[in-house]
Amino acid sequence: MYEQIAEQIEALIRDGTFAPGKRLPGERELAERVGISRPSLREALIALETAGLIETRVGDGTYVRADLSPTPVFPLATGRDLGPGTLEQFEARRALECAAAELAAQRAGAAERAVLQESLDRMHALVARGENPAEEHRVFHVALVDAAHNQIFSRLVRELWRARQGAMWETLRLKVENAESWRAGLVTRAQLMEALAARDGAAARALMEAHFHRVGRKYFDPGE
Amino acid sequence: MYEQIAEQIEALIRDGTFAPGKRLPGERELAERVGISRPSLREALIALETAGLIETRVGDGTYVRADLSPTPVFPLATGRDLGPGTLEQFEARRALECAAAELAAQRAGAAERAVLQESLDRMHALVARGENPAEEHRVFHVALVDAAHNQIFSRLVRELWRARQGAMWETLRLKVENAESWRAGLVTRAQLMEALAARDGAAARALMEAHFHRVGRKYFDPGE
DNA sequence: TCAAGGGAATTGGTCAGACCGGTTGACGGG
DNA sequence: CCCGTCAACCGGTCTGACCAATTCCCTTGA
C-alpha cells in the first residue's frame, strides 16, 4: 500500500500541488486525508525520501526538495547501489572530476565562477577558525562539476560525494583531514579558480589530477 | 534511525552474510536482533526496497535481490530528448574509459588480455570480410574496462555503450563507421594491447585519449 | 515600546501490542 | 502415492501512546 500512497503523493508534487521547497501537511493530517494510518503514511514518506523527493526535519515538518531534477528518478539510485570499495569510488571520482575540471574551465560562466569563489571564501573563514571545511569541500566540488554542464557528471559526482560521507569512509577521512591539509586545499582550489578564469582547461585538469594524486596517496598508501 | 539500520543491513548484504536470492530473517526476529521495534525495522526495509536491494513477498518473507547489477545508476536516454544528450554521454565515456585504460594496463591479468586479444582477432576477421565490427567494438571496450577491476567503471561504461546503440546515436554512428575507420580502429586497439602487455598505464591512457579525440571530432565537429 | 525569555502547541521519531490475510509445508485421509 | 486440509509463520496494517526537537506566541522585564 505504501507504494500506492507514495505514487499518489509524488503525483501531487509533480503537478505542483506541493511545490518544491514547501512544507507538506503534518503526518497525522496527511494520513487522515488519504485515509490510512500514520505508520503506513510514514512508510510512503520514507520511500519518497529514499527516492530523493522530500526531506524531513524533526520538530518542523516534511518539505519537498527544492532541487528536484527535471527527470523523474523515483525507482532508482540513492547511491546505495554503488559497489563496495572505497578505492573504486575514489577512482571513479578521480576520473570524473578531472575531466569535469577541464570542461568547467572551458564552459563556466561568470555566475558559476562567483558561486565557486563564495564557497572558497567560506572555506577560508572555516579554516581560519580551525573548523573542518569538509562539507564546504563537497559544495565546491559539486559546484565545479556542475559548471562542466554535463548532467551525467553532476549526478555521478554528487552520489560519490554523498557516499564519501557514509560510515564506510570514516577511517579514511581521518587520514587526510587535518589543519595542514585544509590549508593546502585552499591553495590548490585558489589555483583552480585562476585556471577557470583563464579558461585554461589543461591547467585545471592538471591541478585536479595533482590534487587526487596527493590525496590518493594519503588515503591508500600504507607507508604514509 | 531507519537510515542507520538500512546501512547496517546493507553492509551485511554486501559482505555476503545475506547472500543474493536468500531469505532474510523475519521482521520480528530481525528487529529484536538489531534491538529496535518492528515499525522502525520496517522503515529500514522499505528504504532498502526502494533502493532496489531487497524485495518482499507477503506471507513468505524478505529476499535479497538476486540481480543487483542491472539497476541503472542514472536515467539514460529512454526518450528522444529526455535525459543527457549524446555529447554528455560521449564525454562521460571518454573520462571513464581513459581512466579505465590506465588502470587496466596496471591490473589486467593474462586471462583478461587473452579475452581482449580474441575480441581483436574477431574484429580483424570482420573487417576483412567488410562487415561492421561495431558490436565487437563494444565487447572489446567492455572487456577492457572490466580489466580495470572497478565495478563502478564497469557498470557505467556498459550502460553508456548500451545507450550508444539506441536511436539517439543513429545519425552520429553513420559519421564514424566506415571501412577506413574500422581499419584505423584495428591499429589503435593493437597498440592498446601492446601497452597492456607492457603494463604501461600512461601509454594506454594516451592511446585511448587520442582515440576519443579523433572520434569526438568526427562526431561533433561541424566542419567534418 | 521593544527585546529577550519561557512555555505551550505542533511535528516528526519511536515503541508496544494486536489483528488480518496470504503463503507454506507437514500431516493425514483418500 | 497423491491430494486436500489446516496450523504455523510471515508480511501488512492499525491503534494509541510517549518522547524529543522545533516553532511560535505570549509574557515579562528593561
For residue A69 the three cell numbers come to 531534477
Q: Which residue of A has its CA nearest to B68?
A: A81
| CA closest to B78 among chain A residues | A71
- Neighbouring-strand partners of residue A63: A23, A55
Do B166 and B197 share a structural domain? yes
d(CA A91, CA A111): 30
The answer, as to whether pTM is greater than 0.75, is no
With respect to residue B197, please indicate whether it lies within any of the assigned structural domains: yes
Question: Are A37 and A145 in the same domain?
Answer: no
* Domain membership of residue B154 as a residue range: 86-220
A66: Cβ–Cβ under 8 A, 6 or more apart, which residues? A20, A21
Does B82 sit within 8 Å of A77, measured CB to CB?
no
Q: Is B76 contained in some domain?
A: no
Q: What is the CATH number of the domain that holds A38?
A: 1.10.10.10
Asked if residue A76 belongs to a domain, the reply is no
Judge if A53 and A97 occupy the same domain: no
pLDDT over threshold 70, residue A73: no
- CATH code, A96: 1.20.120.530
Spatial distance between the Cα atoms of B161 and B100, rounded to a whole number of angstroms: 14
Q: For A66 and D24, how far is CA from C1' in angstroms?
A: 24
Q: Give alpha helix (H) positions in B15-85.
A: 27-34, 38-50
**Cβ-contact B101, B205 below 8 angstroms:** yes
**Residues of chain B (62-121) having a beta carbon less than 7 angstroms from strand C:** none
CA distance B44 to chain A (A): 9
Condensed to tens digits (0 to 9), the pLDDT of residues A86-130 reads 888 899 999 999 999 999 999 999 999 999 999 999 999 888 888
C-alpha to C-alpha distance for B158 and B93, rounded to whole angstroms: 10
CA B81 to chain centre: 23
Q: How much is the pLDDT for A151?
A: 86
Which stretch of A58-67, A161-170, B63-72 has the lowest confidence by average pLDDT?
B63-72
Measured CA to CA, the distance from residue A120 to residue A139 in angstroms comes to 10
Give the Å distances, CA to CA, from A101 to A184, B47, B93: 18, 34, 16
- Strand C reaches within 7 A of the A33 CB: no
Q: Is residue A34 part of a domain?
A: yes
Q: A76 near B71, Cβ under 8 Å?
A: yes
- The answer to whether the Cβ–Cβ distance between A81 and B71 falls below 8 Å is yes
Q: Is residue B81 part of a domain?
A: no
Contact assignment for B14 to A80 by CB distance below 8 Å: no
The secondary structure of B103-116 as a DSSP string is HHHHH--HHHHHHH
Higher pLDDT, A189 or A13: A189
pLDDT (tens digit per residue) in A27-53: 999 999 999 999 999 999 999 988 888
Which chain C positions come under 7 Å from a protein C-beta? Answer: 10-18, 21-24
Residues of chain B with pLDDT under 50: 69-83, 224
Q: What is the pLDDT of residue B86?
A: 83
Count of Cβ atoms closer than 10 Å to residue B121 Cβ: 11
For residue A92, the tally of other CB atoms under 10 A from its CB is: 27
Contact B103 A91 (CB under 8 A): yes
Tell me: do A35 and A98 sit in the same domain.
no
The predicted-structure confidence for A177-214, as pLDDT tens digits, reads as follows 888 889 999 999 999 999 999 999 999 999 999 999 99
The pLDDT score that the predictor gives to residue B73 is 45
CA–CA distance, A116 with B16 (Å, rounded to integer): 42
Give the minimum alpha-carbon distance from A20 to chain B in angstroms, rounded to a whole number: 21
In a domain, A75, yes or no: no
| E strands, B4-149, in order | 54-57, 61-64
Say whether both A110 and A173 belong to one domain.
yes
| A119 in the same domain as A54 | no
CA B20 to chain centre: 20
Whether residue B78 lies inside any domain: the answer is no
Q: Are residues A123 and A24 part of one domain?
A: no
C1 C1' – A161 CA distance, angstroms?
Answer: 51
Domain contains A115: yes
Which among A81, A83, A150 is the nearest to B51, CB-wise? A81
Radius of gyration of chain B (CA): 22
Q: Which H helix or E strand runs over A136?
A: helix A134-146
Contact B50 A78 (CB under 8 A): yes
Residue keyed to cell 583563464: A198
> Among all residues of chain B, which has the CA nearest to that of A148?
B88
Locate A213 and state its grid cell: 594524486
Kindly list the residues from chain A whose CB atom is less than 8 angstroms away from the CB atom of residue B2. 46
Both B50 and B100 in one domain: the answer is no
A58 strand D contact, CB < 7 Å:
yes
Average pLDDT over residues A71-90: 51
Contact criterion met (CB < 8 Å) for B152 and A75: no
pLDDT of residue A144: 97
Which DSSP state fits B80? S
Angle in degrees, CA B212, B214, B215, rounded to 5: 65
A99 shares a domain with A182: yes
Cβ neighbours of B155 in A, within 8 Å: 83
Task: Give the C-alpha separation, B43 to B63, whole Å.
Answer: 16
CA distance A131 to A1: 46
How far out from the chain centre does Cα A170 lie?
17
Q: Running DSSP on this structure, what letter comes out for residue B23?
A: B
Asked whether residue A23 falls in the same domain as residue A101, the answer is no
**Residue A163 pLDDT more than 80?**
no
**How sure is the predictor about A222, in pLDDT bands with cuts at 50, 70 and 90?**
low
Residues from chain B contacting residue A5 (CB–CB below 8 Å): none
Residues A49 and A139 placed together within one structural domain of the fold: no
Instruction: Give how many domains chain B has, as a whole number.
Output: 2
Do A48 and A113 belong together in one domain? no
Tell me what pLDDT residue B67 has.
Answer: 63
